[in-house]
Amino acid sequence: MDLTLEHARALDAADPLAAHRDRFVHHDDVVYLDGNSLGRLPRATPDALAHVVREQWGAGLIRSWPAWLEEARSTADLLGRVVLGVDAGQVHVGDSTTVSLYRLAVAAVRARPGRTRILVEADAFPTDLYVLDGVARDHGMELVRIDAPIDDGVRDEHLVPLLDDTVALVCLSQVHYRSGALLDLAGLTALAHDVGALVLWDLCHSAGAVEVPLAASGADLAVGCTYKYLNAGPGAPAFSYVRADLLPTMRSPIQGWFAQTDQFAMAPGFDPVAGIDRIAAGTPDVRGIVAVREGVRTIEAAGVQALREKGSALGAYVVALADAWLEPLGFRVASPRDDALRGAHVVLEHPEAWQACQAWIDAGVVPDFRTPDRLRIGLAALTTSFEDVWTGLDRLRTIVGIGAHHGYSTERGRVT
């Protein structure tokens, strides 16, 4: 591959998504390689939020609720159609990913009474491990960790030996947060279904970055956040997916009034609606939902397939530059090299990654750091250019090449 800056610019010139970059706010010339942690601000979002606050809240006051409830439903369906490729009525938007995961995990184990085990990837995102540990304890179940190499993630051979009819639930991330490994959602779901288990997918690092074959695979349940590739902003509400035919069997542990049939009858007994809102809890975060709508519209304008293609191309470009420039400096590509097995972030491991990360930030590049020694390079197809990648990795090779990172603390903390 041609590794010159001119070639990076030529790749940008030929990029069919290049024009989408202008739909986002770019304040300074920072090289932002962290769109997989917090996506950029869409230009349309501030005005959309101002409308909700000034007109609908300020002027409309409580009379705006019918429109807000309609907004909550239509945004959930929009996200389902655009990002997850599923029919309406199966997605709920609200609460955090952590709360959503808890809610669906409990509903799932309740739907498989008598089964005693929950399986989770050993290197799952910590909140998933914590939540499932609590769910297992509270239900007298065993939490079993699926061991798999971090870089490549869970494949059939890691899951199959653990599957039998004692398994109620399997929880996996479609794209692994620490390596970018992209799992076979359809194949792993089918294996779990063979023993009658339900599967709950964490889509935080895949929604808006890769195709999510929920419908085609008959996947059961999924959750994900909206502040990464969906560009809905810090703390924006998460989404939950429940396959329509499972809804009657899903009983949320949070029996809130927004799930109640004829909510304003104010009846004392809980009688949830039949549809997806049976997993709702309390009053929806309207401002957050409007930000989700605007974020999802940025995905809709490009299409998930085009995003996936560009994300793969950017990833392959990172790997090529890393092999040529960074491998001689002690870096190792800690993500699958095969584009088909990798999501939209690439991880570089280096024994001094923590120091390199701080020096990199001071050099105007924003990456992410993940333990133990990993620099995570997020490639948000809508906003990351090939030139960003070239410039970012060029600065990293300079820093580590001259040892500038040695001037930084080895004491770890939060950098981004």
Ligand X SMILES: Cc1ncc(COP(=O)(O)O)c(C=O)c1O
Residue type, position 374, single letter = R
Instruction: Compute the least distance from the CB of residue 213 to ligand X, in Å.
Output: 18
Question: Applying CB under 6 A, does 241 fall inside the site for ligand X?
Answer: no
Nearer to ligand X, 98 or 116 (CB): 98
Nearer to ligand X, 42 or 288 (CB): 288
Site string for ligand X, 296-325 (x = CB under 6 A): ------------------------------
Kindly tell me which residue out of 177, 239, 331, 369 binds ligand X, with binding defined by CB under 6 A: 177
Residue whose pair of structure tokens reads 């001689």 in the numeric block: 328
Tally Cβ neighbours within 10 Å of residue 313: 15
State which of positions 199-218 bind ligand X (CB under 6 A): 202, 204-205
Question: Applying CB under 6 A, does 166 fall inside the site for ligand X?
Answer: no
The residues, ordered by sequence, that sit 6+ positions from 248 with a Cβ below 8 Å of its Cβ are 274
Question: In 51-164, where does DSSP find H-type helix?
Answer: 65-79, 97-110, 126-138, 156-159
Site string for ligand X, 126-145 (x = CB under 6 A): -xx-----------------
Instruction: Compute the least distance from the CB of residue 47 to ligand X, in Å.
Output: 25
Separation of alpha carbons 403 and 60, rounded Å? 59
Kindly tell me which residue out of 90, 97, 260, 383 binds ligand X, with binding defined by CB under 6 A: 97
Kindly tell me which residue out of 17, 199, 225, 247 binds ligand X, with binding defined by CB under 6 A: 225
The interface region with ligand X, picked from 122-130, 214-222, 242-250, 371-379 by CB under 6 A, is 122-130
Separation of alpha carbons 373 and 350, rounded Å? 6
Of all helices (H) and strands (E), which one includes residue 358? helix 353-362
Helix (H, G, I), strand (E, B) or coil at 28: coil
CB 413 within 8 A of CB 355: no
Burial class (CB in 10 A: 0-12, 13-18, 19+), 31: buried
Nearer to ligand X, 82 or 101 (CB): 101
The interface region with ligand X, picked from 124-132, 152-160, 252-260, 313-321 by CB under 6 A, is 124-132
Show which residues are catalytic: 125, 202, 227-228, 376
Tally Cβ neighbours within 10 Å of residue 29: 8
Residue whose pair of structure tokens reads 């065993």 in the numeric block: 142
Q: How many residues bind ligand X (CB under 6 A)?
A: 13
Instruction: Compute the least distance from the CB of residue 201 to ligand X, in Å.
Output: 10
Nearer to ligand X, 105 or 400 (CB): 105
> What are the helix and strand counts (H, E) for the chain?
12, 13
Kindly tell me which residue out of 7, 49, 98, 193 binds ligand X, with binding defined by CB under 6 A: 98
CB 222 within 8 A of CB 205: no
The interface region with ligand X, picked from 38-46, 125-133, 150-158, 183-191 by CB under 6 A, is 125-133
Kindly tell me which residue out of 48, 69, 89, 96 binds ligand X, with binding defined by CB under 6 A: 96
The interface region with ligand X, picked from 90-98, 282-290, 311-319, 406-414 by CB under 6 A, is 90-98
The interface region with ligand X, picked from 94-102, 144-152, 193-201, 338-346 by CB under 6 A, is 94-102
Nearest CA among 240, 193, 196 for reference residue 219:
193
Kindly tell me which residue out of 45, 56, 75, 173 binds ligand X, with binding defined by CB under 6 A: 173
Question: Applying CB under 6 A, does 238 fall inside the site for ligand X?
Answer: yes
Q: At what angle do helices 5-13 and 304-321 cross, to 10 degrees?
A: 170
Sequence-distant contacts of 354-359: CB under 8 A, at least 24 apart: 354/408, 354/410, 354/412, 355/405, 355/406, 355/408, 355/409, 355/410, 356/396, 356/399, 356/400, 356/405, 357/415, 358/405, 358/408, 358/409, 358/415, 359/399, 359/404, 359/405, 359/407, 359/408
Nearer to ligand X, 107 or 225 (CB): 225
Separation of alpha carbons 203 and 225, rounded Å? 7
Instruction: Compute the least distance from the CB of residue 296 to ligand X, in Å.
Output: 16
Nearer to ligand X, 121 or 349 (CB): 121
**Which tokens is 242 given?**
């429940």
The interface region with ligand X, picked from 123-131, 153-161, 188-196, 338-346 by CB under 6 A, is 123-131
Binding site for ligand X (CB under 6 A): 96-98, 125, 127-128, 173, 177, 202, 204-205, 225, 238
